[in-house]
């Protein structure tokens, strides 16, 4: 049991789910099923590679960490994430809001609060405006954090359901603009430029390639040599058995002090 706790702690602290998040479906997104190889590159770290299977209501990710196989299943319709440890047939669960929101996958709605994506927040519609030549629904989001009431404003693309502009409570601003189309890993993708302006005025730009069939970003490049992408994408129904916890496996609890997973 001590070995299980140690591996779970490494899983939580390591944030290994971060590079896989690009394929988790947001609540209400069109259910296009596919499999792919997910790759994350970072300077001085080499490549982190995982195999991914995206079903109608869940995403399964398989990879190796410290020489041991790991399996992670995110049930996006139930706000549930499960990590399976094949070496001793055990698993742990995490529940809570935010499971269905992830980098790169557009939602079926422009409402940032729909589907429990922002726990404890309220969203107020402010009408429609044009942003960089595209029509967007404008929303004000109000939430409580550390005893403070925070207000943010978001302009969500009516067609793609992507955030075209966001103003955050700390003064950070983001802008997303469509600049053209390109082929990425054999698939037609829209090329978008994301500009982030910090409160001190400093800016950073990243590039995203959005697949309109999959409703997902299939590649992202961030300054400094950081890259995330999906390769070997194969569209088609995925076996339901991939998203089922095997019979006879034992559920164990998250180690004390590790109540959440870093992404």
Is residue 19 assigned to a domain?
Answer: yes
Is residue 88 assigned to a domain?
Answer: yes
Number of domains within the chain: 1
Reported as a pLDDT band with limits 50, 70 and 90, residue 220 is very high
CATH number of the domain at 95, please: 2.50.20.10
pTM (predicted TM-score): 0.78
Q: Tokens in use for 74?
A: 């995110």
- Would you give the DSSP letter of residue 209? E
**Which of the pair, 234 or 24, is modelled with greater confidence?**
234
Q: What is the mean pLDDT of residues 85-93?
A: 93
CA 115 to chain centre: 15
Q: Tokens in use for 220?
A: 């992202």
Is residue 145 assigned to a domain?
Answer: no
Is residue 136 assigned to a domain?
Answer: no
For CA atoms 85, 232, 26, 169, give the dihedral sign: positive
- Pick the closest to residue 105 from 262, 210, 243 (CA basis): 210
Is residue 119 assigned to a domain?
Answer: no
Averaged confidence pLDDT in the chain = 82
Is residue 80 assigned to a domain?
Answer: yes
**Considering only 86-95, 113-122, 142-151, which range has the smallest mean pLDDT?**
113-122
Is residue 126 assigned to a domain?
Answer: no
Is residue 48 assigned to a domain?
Answer: yes
* Range of the structural domain that residue 57 is part of: 2-105+170-251
Q: Is the pLDDT of residue 258 over 90?
A: no
């Amino acid at each position: 049991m001590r070995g299980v706790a140690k591996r779970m702690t490494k899983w939580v602290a390591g944030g290994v789910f971060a590079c896989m998040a690009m394929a988790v479906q947001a609540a209400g997104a069109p259910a296009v099923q596919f499999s792919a190889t997910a790759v994350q590159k970072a300077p001085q770290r080499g490549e982190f590679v995982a195999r991914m299977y995206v079903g109608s209501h869940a995403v399964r990710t398989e990879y190796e960490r410290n020489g041991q196989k790991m399996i992670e299943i995110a049930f996006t319709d139930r706000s549930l994430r499960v990590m399976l440890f094949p070496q001793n047939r055990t698993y742990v669960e995490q529940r809570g809001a935010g499971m269905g929101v992830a980098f790169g996958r557009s939602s079926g709605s422009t409402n940032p609060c729909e589907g429990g994506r922002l726990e404890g927040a309220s969203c107020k519609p402010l009408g429609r405006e044009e942003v960089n030549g595209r029509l967007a629904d404008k929303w004000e989001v109000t939430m409580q954090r550390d005893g403070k009431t925070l207000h943010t404003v978001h302009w969500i693309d009516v067609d793609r359901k992507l955030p075209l502009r966001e103003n955050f409570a700390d003064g950070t601003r983001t802008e997303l603009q469509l600049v053209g189309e390109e082929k990425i890993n054999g698939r037609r993708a829209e090329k978008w430029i994301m500009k982030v302006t910090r409160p001190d005025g400093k800016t950073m730009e990243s590039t995203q390639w959005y697949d309109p069939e999959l409703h997902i970003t299939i590649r992202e490049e961030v300054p400094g040599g950081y890259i995330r992408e999906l390769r070997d994408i194969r569209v088609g129904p995925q076996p339901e058995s991939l998203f089922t916890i095997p019979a006879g496996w034992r559920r164990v609890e998250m180690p004390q002090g590790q109540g959440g997973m870093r992404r």
